[in-house]
């Protein structure tokens, strides 16, 4: 028996909205410690890793570890039925064929209960090696999302250059070239804050299409951190009370090399 009660259902709605365009079918692993998932996108370029800590749920019980194969597309449809203020219960019997979702609003006269059919998926759990990164950028998730979205106007590749003083988001395309440069600072305004933890300068290129997909998670967290090392995937991390959502993306090979 697995059962978890989430007082603030909205965060779960946001999480699923944040990943549904990237991964359509996933295995959720439920244990006594956490609900987690790890999935590659269809083109095997990006990896999504989600952890929701058991201790942060209002109620949580997991008698034995289970793998729950879920269509994210269908789960998103059911979660749309939940009100933004609803609490959400997730429940699965041992060896379950359905995941039960119960939505409870402030209006006690109304009860919503849905059974989502589970599916069987090949497991592809990847060991993610511990990595020390050359540079870490911590900034406003909204500001970062805005920059990525706007630079997509110019071209499809973002060149990210970071040193101790500043980070440069540069683009170059048929219409021209340019960059947005932000200096390290500790602003009172979350939107302007820019923390740079840099061991050595890094210059890497990424597909803006994926970065924009990841940025759907900017509704989950005021800040985003980007961890960079040459020739290894960048990690974008969105942290929130319930846990964290990380995206991994392999760099584009520089056109110069």
Query: Could you tell me the smallest distance in angstroms from the CB atom of residue 154 to a copy of itself?
Result: 7
Query: Could you tell me the smallest distance in angstroms from the CB atom of residue 131 to a copy of itself?
Result: 29
Query: Could you tell me the smallest distance in angstroms from the CB atom of residue 167 to a copy of itself?
Result: 10
Rg (CA), the chain: 20
Return the residue of 126, 192, 195, 230 that touches a copy of itself, per CB under 8 A: 192
The reply on whether position 177 binds a copy of itself by CB under 8 A is yes
Q: What are phi and psi of 225, to 5 degrees?
A: -115, 140
| Cα(131)–Cα(137) distance, integer angstroms | 16
Return the residue of 94, 95, 109, 122 that touches a copy of itself, per CB under 8 A: 109
The residues near 26 (Cβ < 8 Å, ≥ 6 apart) are 37, 39, 69, 70, 72, 121
Show the binding pattern over residues 2-41: x = contacts a copy of itself (CB under 8 A), - = does not: ----------------------------------------
The residues near 255 (Cβ < 8 Å, ≥ 6 apart) are none
Least Cα distance to 210 among 195, 194, 226 occurs for 226
The residues near 162 (Cβ < 8 Å, ≥ 6 apart) are 135, 137, 168, 196, 198, 201, 202, 203, 228
The reply on whether position 112 binds a copy of itself by CB under 8 A is yes
Q: Are 208 and 234 contacting, i.e. CB atoms less than 8 angstroms apart?
A: no
The reply on whether position 153 binds a copy of itself by CB under 8 A is yes
Name the segment binding a copy of itself (CB under 8 A); options: 61-69, 70-78, 206-214, 248-256: 70-78
Cα four-point dihedral sign 148, 25, 240, 236: negative
Query: Could you tell me the smallest distance in angstroms from the CB atom of residue 19 to a copy of itself?
Result: 18
Give the distance from CA 220 to its chain's centroid. 9
- What secondary structure letter does DSSP report for 251? P
Name the segment binding a copy of itself (CB under 8 A); options: 37-45, 148-156, 225-233, 240-248: 148-156
The reply on whether position 138 binds a copy of itself by CB under 8 A is no
Query: Could you tell me the smallest distance in angstroms from the CB atom of residue 21 to a copy of itself?
Result: 17
Return the residue of 8, 115, 161, 203 that touches a copy of itself, per CB under 8 A: 115
Query: Could you tell me the smallest distance in angstroms from the CB atom of residue 81 to a copy of itself?
Result: 4
SS3 94: coil
The reply on whether position 154 binds a copy of itself by CB under 8 A is yes
**What is the secondary structure of 49-62 as a DSSP string?**
EEEEEGGGSSEEEE
Q: Which residues bind a copy of itself (CB under 8 A)?
A: 71, 74, 77-78, 80-81, 98, 101, 107, 109-117, 150-151, 153-154, 174-183, 185, 187, 189, 191-192, 194
């Amino acid at each position: 028996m697995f059962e978890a009660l989430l007082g603030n259902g909205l965060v779960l709605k946001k999480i699923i909205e944040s990943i549904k365009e990237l991964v359509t079918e996933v295995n959720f692993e439920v244990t006594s410690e956490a609900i987690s998932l790890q999935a590659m996108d269809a083109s095997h370029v990006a990896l999504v890793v989600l952890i929701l800590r058991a201790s942060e749920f209002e109620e949580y019980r997991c008698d034995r570890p289970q793998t729950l194969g879920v269509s994210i597309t269908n789960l998103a449809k059911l979660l749309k039925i939940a009100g933004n203020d609803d609490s959400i219960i997730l429940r699965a019997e041992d060896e379950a064929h359905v995941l039960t979702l119960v939505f409870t609003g402030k209006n006690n006269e109304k009860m919503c209960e849905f059974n989502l059919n589970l599916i069987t998926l090949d497991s592809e759990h990847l060991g993610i090696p511990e990595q020390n990164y050359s540079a870490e950028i911590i900034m406003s998730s909204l500001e970062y999302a805005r920059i990525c979205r706007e630079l997509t106007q110019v071209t499809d590749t973002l060149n990210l250059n970071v040193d101790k003083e500043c980070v440069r988001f540069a683009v170059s395309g048929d219409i021209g070239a340019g960059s947005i440069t932000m200096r390290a600072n500790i602003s009172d305004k979350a939107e302007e804050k820019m923390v740079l933890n840099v061991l050595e300068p890094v210059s890497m290129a990424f597909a803006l299409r994926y970065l924009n997909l990841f940025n759907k998670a900017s509704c989950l967290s005021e800040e985003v951190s980007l961890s960079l090392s040459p020739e290894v995937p960048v990690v974008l991390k969105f942290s929130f009370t319930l846990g964290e959502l990380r995206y991994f993306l392999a760099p584009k090979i520089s056109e110069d090399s």
